[in-house]
Amino acid sequence: MLKKYWIKCPICNGKTRVQVFHNTVLKDFPLFCPKCKLTHIIDVEKFFRLESMMG
């Protein structure tokens, strides 16, 4: 079973309502952040969580 990861807002680092797998590909995806109420256009190729490498 593949593990799902939450995409965080690139501005406020808040959790969005979008989950992806490590092999998910998104191109020009409109990501809405409910915390800062902004939509950001993002690209995701190979999802990589930096905080999992630090702890």
Q: What is the pLDDT of residues 24-54, one digit of tens each?
A: 899 999 999 999 999 999 998 877 655 444 4
Structural domain boundaries, residue 33: 5-54
Total-model pTM:
0.74
Question: How many domains does the structure of the chain reveal?
Answer: 1
Q: Output the six-digit token pair for 36.
A: 């800062």
Cβ atoms within 10 Å of 6's Cβ, excluding its own = 12
- C-beta separation of 33 from 16 below 8 A: yes
Instruction: Give the residue-averaged pLDDT of 17-27.
Output: 91
At residue 34, what is the residue type? P
pLDDT of 8 > 70? The answer is: yes
